[in-house]
């Protein structure tokens, strides 16, 4: 099987970490005669914006359409406002390709990485399924009476039946398939339209899954329990904004953004799905060759799972666990003395031995 991968290294450390991910993919190609990859690189991002006044080509979405997957590095750079750089590239792709499922594993890979006192790997091992196409991120709103005392700004979350039902259904399927509990996170006591609706859909769809054990938390309580009792969670389903916040708490309890990955999936495979480390472009360390590539490598694991090559997905994940034991070899953010490239090279060695 040949898989066609679009590379968007993006800004800052994006290209540095994507290089290491590609190194792993090429190694897989070498080790597995049944798999091959083709790559095409797209130079989109903030530099492109500064030159062309747009974050990607006008027909960017069409150009990406034929690919099996998109591998994204990082987006954002000083001088380009975030609401342009992120909305017009990252969010554009998520929406443009109806990647309505965002899969973010919250997995403690090594007990030394958590800032929590008495939590171990078995306490912190769950999956957040974030709605990724609408909700609070719909971009709908208005700005009235600009500059006047009566100025008022409106931001509207849009929750469609279709959008809400499909993500919740996806989560129930995932919970059933893996025999895990399912927790919905919402906030009906304050958001009296959208979240009342969310809760209704969660209950309604749940009738088709009587075998799945469910819980329902308010987002404030869930945020607290992510820290205080992460062992409560197995599969979590939540809205776009709440998922954004909760998965960063998840990153905090598992060792930081250097180790957080996300898959932006269109389950029907009508469009390419996108795999990305969750961290940003980190302008402060860009170009120094010390960015931690492990989140980006984990994204490759998610990509392999998505391709149906779970064997490789698991091999990568278990190699991540192995390399995390070799503190000296890691990048400075993890207390080591390695470089982005040396971590990638060591990873390839370990993957060979796996």
Ligand X SMILES: CC(C)[C@H](C(=O)O)[C@@H](O)C(=O)O
Q: Which of residues 249-268 bind ligand X (CB under 6 A)?
A: 262
* DSSP symbols for 262-318: EEEE-TT-SS-EEEEESS---TTTTTTT----HHHHHHHHHHHHHTT-HHHHHHHHH
Q: Which is nearer to a copy of itself, 142 or 268 (CB)?
A: 142
Q: Which is nearer to a copy of itself, 35 or 245 (CB)?
A: 245
Q: Which is nearer to ligand X, 102 or 319 (CB)?
A: 102
Does 154 interact with ligand X (rule: CB under 6 A)? no
**C-alpha to C-alpha distances, 201 to 72, 80, 161, nearest whole angstrom:** 32, 39, 8
Q: How far apart are the first and last CA of the chain?
A: 22
Chosen from ligand X, a copy of itself, none, partner binding at 173 (C-beta under 5 to 8 Å by type):
none
Number of residues that bind ligand X (CB under 6 A): 9
Cβ 195 vs Cβ 188: under 8 Å: yes
Q: Which is nearer to ligand X, 18 or 90 (CB)?
A: 90
Tokens 């961290």 belong to residue = 279
* CA 82, chain centre distance (Å): 18
User: Between 270 and 309, how does the x/- string for binding to ligand X read (CB under 6 A)?
Assistant: --------x-------------------------------
Does 84 interact with ligand X (rule: CB under 6 A)? no
Chosen from ligand X, a copy of itself, none, partner binding at 152 (C-beta under 5 to 8 Å by type):
a copy of itself
Q: Which one of 31, 35, 61, 227 is in contact with a copy of itself (CB under 8 A)? A: 227
Q: Which one of 4, 63, 65, 223 is in contact with a copy of itself (CB under 8 A)? A: 223
What is the spatial distance between Cα 279 and Cα 298, in angstroms, rounded to a whole number? 12
What is the spatial distance between Cα 84 and Cα 76, in angstroms, rounded to a whole number? 9
What is the spatial distance between Cα 107 and Cα 24, in angstroms, rounded to a whole number? 21
What is the spatial distance between Cα 132 and Cα 137, in angstroms, rounded to a whole number? 8
Report the alpha-carbon angle 258-259-265, nearest 5: 115
Does 152 interact with a copy of itself (rule: CB under 8 A)? yes
- The residue of the chain with the least Cβ separation from ligand X equals 86
Q: Which one of 120, 155, 178, 189 is in contact with ligand X (CB under 6 A)? A: 189
Q: For the CB of residue 146, give the shortest distance to a copy of itself in the complex, in Å.
A: 9
What is the spatial distance between Cα 201 and Cα 136, in angstroms, rounded to a whole number? 17
Q: For the CB of residue 327, give the shortest distance to ligand X in the complex, in Å.
A: 27
Chosen from ligand X, a copy of itself, none, partner binding at 120 (C-beta under 5 to 8 Å by type):
none
Tokens 């091999």 belong to residue = 315
**C-alpha to C-alpha distances, 106 to 90, 98, 253, nearest whole angstrom:** 21, 23, 8
Q: Which of residues 56-115 bind a copy of itself (CB under 8 A)?
A: 76, 81-83, 85-87, 91, 114-115
Stretch in the footprint of ligand X (CB under 6 A) among 86-94, 171-179, 225-233, 341-349 = 86-94
Residues that bind a copy of itself (CB under 8 A): 76, 81-83, 85-87, 91, 114-118, 136-137, 139-143, 145, 148-162, 164, 187-197, 218-221, 223-228, 240-241, 244-245, 247-249, 251-253, 256-257
């Amino acid at each position: 099987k040949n898989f066609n991968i679009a590379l968007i290294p993006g800004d800052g450390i994006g290209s540095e970490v994507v290089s290491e991910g590609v190194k792993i993919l090429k190694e897989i190609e070498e080790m597995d005669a049944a798999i091959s990859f083709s790559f095409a690189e797209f130079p989109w991002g903030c530099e492109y914006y500064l030159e062309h006044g747009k974050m990607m080509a006008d027909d960017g979405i069409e150009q990406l359409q034929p690919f099996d997957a998109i591998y994204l590095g990082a987006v954002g750079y000083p001088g380009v406002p975030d609401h342009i750089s992120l909305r017009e590239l990252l969010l554009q792709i998520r929406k443009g390709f109806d990647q309505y499922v965002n899969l973010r594993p919250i997995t403690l890979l090594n007990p030394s990485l958590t800032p929590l006192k008495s939590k171990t790997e078995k306490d912190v091992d769950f999956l957040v399924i974030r709605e990724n196409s609408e909700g609070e991120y719909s971009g709908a709103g208005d700005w009235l009476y600009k500059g006047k005392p009566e100025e008022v700004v409106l931001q509207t979350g849009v929750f469609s039946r279709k959008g809400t039902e499909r993500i919740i259904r996806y989560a129930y399927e995932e919970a059933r398939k893996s025999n895990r509990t399912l927790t919905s996170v919402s906030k009906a006591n304050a958001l009296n339209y959208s979240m009342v609706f969310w809760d209704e859909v969660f209950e309604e769809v749940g009738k088709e899954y009587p075998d799945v054990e469910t819980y329902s938390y308010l987002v404030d309580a869930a945020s607290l329990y992510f820290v205080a009792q992460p062992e409560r969670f197995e599969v979590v389903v939540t809205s776009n904004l709440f998922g954004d916040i909760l998965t960063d708490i998840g990153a905090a309890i598992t060792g930081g953004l250097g180790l957080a990955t996300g898959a932006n999936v269109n389950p029907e495979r009508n469009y390419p799905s996108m795999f990305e480390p969750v961290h940003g472009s980190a302008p402060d360390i860009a170009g120094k060759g010390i960015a931690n590539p492990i989140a980006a490598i984990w994204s490759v694991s998610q990509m392999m799972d998505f391709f149906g090559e779970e064997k490789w997905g698991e091999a990568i994940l278990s190699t991540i666990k192995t390399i995390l034991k070799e503190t000296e070899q890691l990048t400075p953010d993890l207390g080591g003395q390695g470089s982005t490239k040396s971590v990638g090279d060591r990873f390839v060695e370990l993957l060979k031995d796996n």
